[in-house]
Amino acid sequence: MFILSSYALAVIFTVITMLCWGSWANTQKLAAKNWRFELFYWDYVIGVLVLSLLFAFTLGSVGDQGRSFLADLQQADMSSIGSALIGGIIFNAANILLVAAIAIAGMSVAFPIGIGIALILGVVVNYIGAPQGDAVLLFTGVGFIAIAIIVDAIAYSKLSEIKEKVSTKGIVISVVAGVLMALFYRFVAASMSADFVTPVAGKLTNYTACVIFAVGILLSNFIFNTIFMKKPVEGEPVTYKQYFAGNFKTHLTGILGGIIWCVGMSFSIIAAGKAGYAISYGLGQGATLVAALWGVFIWKEFKGASKTVNILLGVMFACFVIGIALIIRAGT
């Protein structure tokens, strides 16, 4: 299996994770023109599973180090498999709420709030579970991310003053999604061996854990997304008949979104072998900055904002950059 050999390369992988996790939601924005997010989400989940299997049978099955995917799956104990499955279930509950928040409040609001909260709580949870890196630098960086979230919330509240109608539903959903999102990674990490080169018997390697995690997402989606389809947070209920009536291009957009996200997830847990789970997760969740950039500059979600709001956005981005830099430095 492919294993990273240096911290510098691990940082590069986490930056790719950041780009992927901060960019996949653009596919939802594109599909939203004629496709409800509940329908989009089925294709997204399929994309996650497809990419995890592709990596498992390629990167996870080549080379002389570690265990190949099928051999690893055969020797895994039920507690490790169960932990990865639970991680997928928790992630799915969080992510479907996040997608709902994006549909209601936009990327530049849902991501900084939801993923920002996930970053702060997630780093704490993962550091307690597997301490690695300079704690002072790591949590100082997290502090700057927290400031960025607060500034973003202030900017959004001031923007609401020039809007005819602004619902707080999107913000509330983002907060709930963020709390849940902070928990999933620890379950996936707990399912894996700390050493990928000579993995512990019964534990999973990162590629196998990602596949089991994706299966947990798919299975739980039959419950979570069916509820959202019948009891949507916004708009009329949708049906499976509507899903199967979608055209190929629309379905492909959702699948692409899942593939992009899963590239990020796979690279994050590959990088964790060298960077540690807290740093790898924290840097990946710098996706908040990437998503906010998409929302502000591409989707124009703050179009018409006052000078004060634009200054606040600048402060938010600066705090995110400083926070991410400190988190990187914590692992060196």
- Element of type H or E holding 236: none
Tokens, residue 304: 């018409």
More confident of the two residues 114 and 263: 263
Buried b (16+ CB within 10 A) or exposed e, 141-152: bbebbbbbbebb
Helix, strand counts (H, E) of the chain: 14, 0
Look-up of token digits 């051999």: 71
- Tell me: the pLDDT tens digits for 89-143? 999 999 899 878 877 777 667 777 887 788 889 999 999 998 988 999 999 998 9
Specify the pLDDT at position 167.
61
Overall average pLDDT of the 71-100 stretch: 95
Distance CA 94, CA 169 (A): 15
Mean pLDDT rounded to a whole number for the chain: 89
- Element of type H or E holding 215: helix 206-230
Would you list the domain boundaries of the chain?
7-330
User: Do you know the residue count of the chain?
Assistant: 332
Distance CA 304, CA 288 (A): 22
Is residue 216 scored above 60 in pLDDT? yes
Specify the pLDDT at position 263.
97
Confidence category of residue 166, pLDDT binned at 50, 70, 90: very low
| pTM over 0.85, yes/no | yes
Looking at this protein, which amino acid is placed at residue 79? S
Residues ≥6 apart with Cβ < 8 Å to 163: none
Specify the pLDDT at position 108.
64
- Tell me: the pLDDT tens digits for 50-60? 999 999 999 99
Confidence category of residue 320, pLDDT binned at 50, 70, 90: confident
Q: Which of 130, 101, 107 is nearest to 281 (CA)?
A: 130
Specify the pLDDT at position 164.
46
Distance CA 189, CA 202 (A): 14
Specify the pLDDT at position 107.
64
